[in-house]
């Protein structure tokens, strides 16, 4: 029986695999860029010229980068028996949505989806072990 726990945010994913009492720790780095959108008024005076900011272009690029990141994670966890997902902001929820919409067989193995702040490697391992022990 292979249990896998994931803690993920936009920058990286920690994947802890527990099989026969042994645990392995893997890190997958995302290639999602941090966009700093500049624009707005080009002057300090009210009513000055305005720059047009194309938010949709940046958001669309980020969406494609997240999809590639999620596929890399899915390829690393596809042979699991049970899966738990943790994360701070909303990336873990986007990952769950990806599983629901496009990877239904893997989504049926998800037992816990929970918010968890940033933590160290040891804290992440303890959190995931507790999630599997408490069931």
Summarised one tens digit per residue, pLDDT across range 37-73 is 666 555 566 666 566 666 788 888 889 999 999 999 9
**CATH label of the domain that carries residue 90:** 3.30.420.60
> SS3 of 31, please?
coil
**Phi, psi at 63, each rounded to 5°:** -60, -45
In this structure, is residue 47 part of a structural domain? no
The 10s digit of each residue's pLDDT in 110-119 is: 999 999 998 8
Predicted confidence at residue 36, as pLDDT, reads 66
What is the extent of the structural domain holding 63? 2-36+55-133
Is the confidence at residue 97, as pLDDT, over 60? yes
In this structure, is residue 60 part of a structural domain? yes
């Amino acid at each position: 029986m292979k249990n896998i726990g994931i803690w993920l945010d936009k920058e990286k994913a920690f994947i802890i695999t527990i099989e026969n009492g042994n645990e392995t720790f893997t890190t997958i780095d995302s290639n999602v860029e941090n966009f700093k959108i500049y624009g707005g008024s080009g002057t300090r005076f009210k009513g000055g010229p305005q720059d047009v900011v194309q938010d949709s272009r940046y958001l669309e690029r980020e969406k494609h980068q997240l999809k590639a990141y999620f596929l890399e994670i899915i390829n690393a966890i596809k042979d699991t028996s049970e899966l738990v997902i943790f994360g701070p902001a909303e990336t873990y929820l986007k990952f769950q949505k990806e599983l629901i919409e496009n990877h239904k067989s893997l989504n049926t193995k998800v037992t816990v989806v929970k918010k968890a702040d940033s933590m160290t490697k040891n804290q992440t391992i303890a959190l995931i072990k507790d999630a599997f022990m408490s069931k």
